[in-house]
Amino acid sequence: FPDKSIALDGAHSGEVWKFDIITPWIVCIIITHSTYLTIAITCLISLALEAHCNLPKCQMLTCYWSLTCYINIIYPHLSWSNPFSWAMTSSIAQLYVIFIEYMTLFIKFDNSALFTYEYLSAATMRIILSFIIALVIGSRAKIIILKEKICS
């Protein structure tokens, strides 16, 4: 996995669980900011990740660019006052990032050892954490949206 996450040591077995906190943050930026600002921020974050990680060239840029495009396309069709919309969008984005990472590693190393219990459980935990982070942010945004409607 790319080193763009928080690592927590397992209590008993010594394995390392990595949780991606950048993808939910990027999704929340895409939802809350204008299109041009979102594109600029996403490109800067992607380039910083690529400079930091040992990944093929433009993998993160392509991944986050396509996420930005997809979320901007579906943006007018979802109700962002519902925290569940934030959570599901973030979870699907995280699943997409995990899929791209797995396919890159699978092609690069040409083995099926990536589809073991450890890798799949780590991916599941990343999706669950992404769901929880976006649910919390979405519920806070719902409170702000409701306050704005009351004041106006």
Q: What are phi and psi for residue 33, nearest 5 degrees?
A: -115, 170
Measure the CA–CA gap between 141 and 152, rounded to whole angstroms.
17
- Global confidence as pTM: 0.78
> What is the four-CA torsion angle of 56, 61, 65, 66, rounded to 10 degrees?
10
pLDDT band at 114 (very low <50, low <70, confident <90, very high): low
Mean pLDDT of the chain: 79
- Using the structure block, give the residue that is written with the tokens 């945004």: 141
pLDDT 10s digits, 56-96: 778 888 889 999 999 989 988 888 888 898 899 999 999 99
109, with CB counted inside 10 A (0-12, 13-18, 19+), is: exposed
